[in-house]
Amino acid sequence: MTELITTASTFIEPRPVEGAKDTTMVLNMGPQHPSTHGVLRLVIEIDGETVLKVVPDIGYLHTGIEKTCEAKFYQQVVPLTDRIDYLSPLTNNLVYCLAVEKLLQLEIPAKAQWIRVLLNELTRLNSHLVWLGTHALDIGAMTVFLYTFREREDILRILEYVSGQRMMTSYFRIGGLALEPQLDFFDRIRQFINILPEKIDEYQNLLTGNPIWINRLKGVGHLTAEDAIALGVTGPPARASGIDWDLRRDMPYSSYEKFQFKVPISNDCDVWARYVVRLEEMRESVKICQQALDGMPEGPIKADAPKVVLPDREKMKTQMESLIYHFKIVTEGFAVPAGQVFQAVEGAHGEMGYYVVSDGTAKPYRVHMRYPGFATLQALQAMCEGRLIADVVAVIGSIDIVLGEIDR
Amino acid sequence: MNGTSSKDATLEAHKDNRAVASLFSSSRDFILDAKFDRNELTLTVPRDNIREVCGIVQSAGYNFLESVTCVDWYPGEPRFQVTYHILSHGLKERVRLVAMVDSIDPSIDSITPVWPAANFYEREVWDLFGVRFHGHPNLRRILMPDDWEGHPLRKDFPVEGYR
């Protein structure tokens, strides 16, 4: 059986002909399909309702951000990173800033690190709320979407309050934060954090006991731990397959080692397990936020590095030296010592890693972004094979796909 | 960039590192250069042995491939630096493998037999840098359209179009 056929379009891979496979059909799903969460195109080969093969076709949202980075100063890249995984803008900012800070070997003040942790966890909650709402919507439970977006709106208001932007926040800077947070900023977060656990109970009441939800999720999209490792799956889908790995705990960054939290694991390996793991993660995020609020250290929010960090507005207007530094950073950037670093953080969807190469100038020589969705998409075939088409929708929802991060 | 002495000093300081130790026990030629910078270990390995080297590193406990990418050092030669980031869940540490590929024959063995996860990453490197991977099951463009000309992340590819 060496003969190969190329089906329907040139986009699908040639497959070997095996016996009576004339009955199969090639179905195109996306890129404008509501349940593919963006512009994911899947070419699915089906036998009746049974999925034989799923071939993801990506690149519809490719904007060449990695190329653009090479033409910008280091500090100008920060707002670009927001637009990659657009559901967790601050995590993108964090990983880029940490990478450049590692290149510069900058020490970040404790308060800035803690605020970064706090906002990073809020971002995770934001992303998980969008995931829960849209995932439930795909399965057919429309109400949950309205509930989760109500809470998400609160998070967006908090982000807007502190950074001036609801979604494309760009609040973190190389060397610290953009602004000193307002006095009542922490109170607003505390208010939100206090009500969130009962809202999570509410979602669970809506979904966990629901027979349709159970039938659509349990046993669907099975992914073994070996497959998950081999295919590069990280984050909640990996932890739902029993891989006990969380970068926040195992390779801590930005003071995460000072926080106590559990890493939820499940050995069920299915869509249901991913749902349970993410809900537990939301509860743990709430705990981390509470610890961050309770133990918030005092001090500056920017590193003491006048050649890298922009001076305060007040100083810039009154002191000649600060004015010169300000002028130099804005017009010619700051040189970063040559070298290469890889910095990874635990994002809402999994491991987010930036590989930044510097050649000693003020612009990055190369910025490579490792985003979880790109690798997780490779596991789609393993999760969908032999299942029904409707399960493909459940599986896509369960890996929490964001095309912005996959196509970059 | 690195003299022989800095390589030997780095290897001496990290001789207990599992990746270094297991590569050395297989062959002393598997590490062409070593660098320890900003707490990250970079091992330059021979391009012809990349699949073998990855297999050795994998059995040394570095179980998880994080990413495969490339850096274009145009106009220098060898031009392409194919970079592998490999993580160990057990040891909680990471090693970076680097293989230099020249521009006359920009190609290297695919490591998909070792880590299937490399599939998309190698397609991405082919798409954006034009480095071919021998033995890859499906080496097509992944991000750019199929009929795109050129490889956008090469340094001689303009950011804002040809003028």
Indicate yes or no: CB of A342 within 8 angstroms of CB of B66.
yes
Q: Residues A354, A358, A362, A363: is their CA dihedral positive or negative?
A: negative
Q: Does residue A18 register a pLDDT over 70?
A: no
Q: Does residue A23 register a pLDDT over 80?
A: no
Annotate A115-176 with DSSP letters as a single string: HHHHHHHHHHHHHHHHHHHHHHHHHT-HHHHHHHHHHHHHHHHHHHHHHS-SS----EETTE
Which residue in chain A is spatially nearest to B82 when comparing CA positions? A368
Q: State both tokens at A123.
A: 């971002």
Average pLDDT, chain A: 87
- ipTM of model: 0.90
Q: Does residue A306 register a pLDDT over 90?
A: no
Cα of A257 to nearest chain B Cα, Å:
14
Domain ranges of chain B: 4-134
Domain ranges of chain A: 4-57, 65-407
Residue type, A327: F
Q: Say whether residue B159 is in contact with chain A using an 8 A CB cutoff.
A: yes
Residue A22 has a pLDDT of 65
- pLDDT band at residue B4 under the 50/70/90 scheme: low
Q: If we measure between CA atoms, which residue out of A256, A265, A325 comes closest to residue A95?
A: A256
CA gap A41, A119 in Å, rounded: 33
CA gap B74, A397 in Å, rounded: 42
Q: Residues B108, B111, B113, B117: is their CA dihedral positive or negative?
A: negative
The three-class DSSP label of residue B67 is strand
Distances (CA, A) of B112 to A94, A406, B55, B65, B139: 31, 20, 11, 10, 11
Indicate yes or no: CB of A59 within 8 angstroms of CB of B115.
no
Contact A109, A176 (CB under 8 A): yes
Task: Give strand pairing partners of B99.
Answer: B82
pLDDT tens, position by position, A68-83: 999 999 999 999 998 8
Q: Does residue A2 register a pLDDT over 60?
A: no
Task: Tell me which DSSP letter residue A219 carries.
Answer: T
**Which residue of A358, A366, A367, A401 to mutate against B (max B Cβ within 10 Å)?**
A366
Q: Does residue A31 register a pLDDT over 60?
A: yes
CA gap B105, B134 in Å, rounded: 12
Q: Does residue A129 register a pLDDT over 60?
A: yes
Query: What is the pLDDT averaged over residues B43-66?
Result: 90
Under CATH, what is the fold of the domain B4-134? Answer: Beta Polymerase; domain 2 (3.30.460)
Which residue in chain B is spatially nearest to A57 when comparing CA positions? B142
Q: Does residue A5 register a pLDDT over 90?
A: no
Task: Tell me which DSSP letter residue B47 carries.
Answer: G
Share of chain A above pLDDT 70, in %: 95
Q: Say whether residue A342 is in contact with chain B using an 8 A CB cutoff.
A: yes
List of chain A residues whose C-beta atoms are within 8 Å of the C-beta of residue B157: 67
* Residue spans of alpha helices (H) in A39-141: 65-69, 78-82, 89-104, 110-139
Architecture of the domain delimited by A65-407? Orthogonal Bundle (1.10)
Indicate yes or no: CB of A341 within 8 angstroms of CB of B117.
no
CA gap B142, B120 in Å, rounded: 8
Q: If we measure between CA atoms, which residue out of B155, B157, B117, B150 comes closest to residue B136?
A: B117
Q: Say whether residue B91 is in contact with chain A using an 8 A CB cutoff.
A: no
